[in-house]
Amino acid sequence: MLPLAATAIYAFLHLPLLVLAVFSVNSSRFTLWEGFSLRWYRAAFEDQQLIEATANSLLIAAVATAAAAVIGTLCAHALWKKDAPIITMSLSLSLVTPEIVAGISLLALFQWIFRFLNIHLGLHTVILAHVSFCISFVVIVVLARLRTFDNSLEEAAVDLGATEWQAFCHVTLPNLMPAIVSAALLAFTISFDDYVITSMVAGVDSETLPMVLYAIARRGANPVVNAISTIIVLALGAMILASERLKES
């Protein structure tokens, strides 16, 4: 009885994406099966707007992830030594803040600052927003790893004459690397997928892949979206599996 129910729920979780993948290689424009074809993949790779949006998304995710990984790791290390209640609380709060509220408050901030500085919305505002929501994920993953790490290793290094900084760089950091990469992969997938916050703080020239997909999805069925969706799921899925592996190792 229980395995049966579990199988049904797993089917519920995975079938919709599987169906999407199957129909991405359907030669028909409509939702009836007419035979295998890669035409929608070709159409996706020839679409200039899609390519530009993907490039934007990759750039944003890469920069935001790198920044969040560095900043979040430092923060996790400091929190591991001693809790800083205000920072911990703010990080948890930013984690549960509804996306729409986060997006709108950031938009308000940027508009307000830019009134004084004469800067416009663009890739840089999107990157800033992404850094802010990626940090929490990095801190969670890295802190979890640090809690299983033996503090005496760092102390031993200091006793042997290393400075605090040297002990961090040469002892703790190498041990943390798998967790940091795992956290970075996670942050990358979150950044790459974000629509709500991004669409609020993006300028006219900084359209991202989720924004393009959203626009097409609203207009109606388009098999090209099936093709792109399948690529996204496969790529992000591979990253998540790699992240899980690293976290366990």
Partner 1 sequence: MKRLRLLFLLPTAGILLLLFAVPLCILLVYACMTRGAYGGTMPPFTGENWLRVLDPLYLGIVGRSFLVAGVSTLICVILGFPLALFISRSGTRKNLYLSLVMLPFWTSFLVRTYAWMFLLRDTGLINTTLQAMGVIHEPLPLLYNWWAVILGLVYGYLPFMVLPLFSTLERLDPSLLEAAADLGARPSQGMLRVMLPLSAPGIRAGAILVFIPCLGAYLTPDLLGGGRTILIGTLIQNQFSNSRDWPFGSAISLALMALVMLLLWIQVRRKGEPLL
Residues within window 146-205 making contact with partner 1, judged by CB under 8 A: 164-165, 168, 186, 189-190, 193, 195-196, 200
Q: Which of residues 25-64 bind partner 1 (CB under 8 A)?
A: 30-32
Number of residues binding to partner 1, judged by CB under 8 A = 86
Give the C-alpha separation, 90 to 63, whole Å.
23
In the set 126, 127, 131, 227, which binds partner 1 (CB under 8 A)? 131
In the set 56, 182, 206, 226, which binds partner 1 (CB under 8 A)? 226
Q: Does 81 bind partner 1 (CB under 8 A)?
A: yes
Q: How far is the CB of 65 from partner 1 (least distance, A)?
A: 14
3-state SS string over the chain?
Answer: CHHHHHHHHHHHHHHHHHHHHHHHCECCCCCCCCCECCHHHHHHHHCHHHHHHHHHHHHHHHHHHHHHHHHHHHHHHHHHHCCCHHHHHHHHHHHHCCHHHHHHHHHHHHHHHHHHHCCCCCHHHHHHHHHHHHHHHHHHHHHHHHCCCCHHHHHHHHHCCCCHHHHHHHHHHHHHHHHHHHHHHHHHHHHHHCCHHHHHHCCCCCCCHHHHHHHHHHHCCCHHHHHHHHHHHHHHHHHHHHHHHHHHC
Question: Could you tell me the two tokens for 137?
Answer: 């994920």
Instruction: Give the residue with the Cβ less far from partner 1, 48 or 147.
Output: 147
Instruction: Give the residue with the Cβ less far from partner 1, 206 or 210.
Output: 210
Question: Could you tell me the two tokens for 189?
Answer: 């997938």
Instruction: Give the residue with the Cβ less far from partner 1, 38 or 158.
Output: 158
Binding mask 86-125 for partner 1 (x = CB under 8 A): -xx-xxxxxxxxxxxx--xxxxxx--x-------------
Q: How far is the CB of 179 from partner 1 (least distance, A)?
A: 15
Q: How far is the CB of 90 from partner 1 (least distance, A)?
A: 5
Q: How far is the CB of 48 from partner 1 (least distance, A)?
A: 21
Instruction: Give the residue with the Cβ less far from partner 1, 6 or 119.
Output: 6
In the set 43, 58, 74, 181, which binds partner 1 (CB under 8 A)? 74
Q: How far is the CB of 61 from partner 1 (least distance, A)?
A: 12
- Which listed range, 15-23, 40-48, 54-62, 174-182, lies at the site for partner 1 (CB under 8 A)? 15-23
